[in-house]
């Protein structure tokens, strides 16, 4: 099999592009990390996870800031 013939599974969220309420209610460790690196995926601890989905964390960060406010990253 040639490299171009590989089958790649790509998963899209089953939420029609809407964010889940469960991830937009409180600052998680991953959300705080993303916020503290200014959503720079090159600096993310998950960057080598080979996930087959597009990261939604920048959208989550925006919602969290609007709903909960900015995190206190100095205590984390």
Q: What does the domain layout of the chain look like in residue ranges?
A: 3-75
Is the whole-model pTM more than 0.85?
Answer: no
What is the distance between the alpha carbons of residues 60 and 21, in angstroms, rounded to a whole number?
A: 10
CB of 51 within 8 A of CB of 32? Answer: no
Kindly provide the b/e burial profile for residues 39-58, where b requires at least 16 CB atoms within 10 angstroms of the residue's own CB.
beeeebeeeeeeeeeeeebe
Which residues lie below 8 Å from residue 73, measured CB to CB, with a gap of 6+? 32, 35, 36
Binned average pLDDT, 10 residues per bin, the chain of 76 residues:
58 59 83 93 77 81 93 68
3-class state of residue 68 by DSSP: coil
């Amino acid at each position: 099999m040639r490299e171009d013939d590989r089958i790649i599974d790509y998963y899209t969220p089953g939420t029609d592009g809407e964010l889940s309420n469960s991830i937009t209610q409180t600052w998680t460790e991953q959300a705080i990390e993303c916020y503290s690196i200014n959503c720079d995926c090159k600096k993310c601890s998950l960057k080598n996870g080979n996930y087959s989905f597009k990261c939604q964390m920048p959208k989550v960060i925006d919602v969290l800031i609007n709903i909960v406010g900015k995190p206190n990253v100095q205590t984390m």
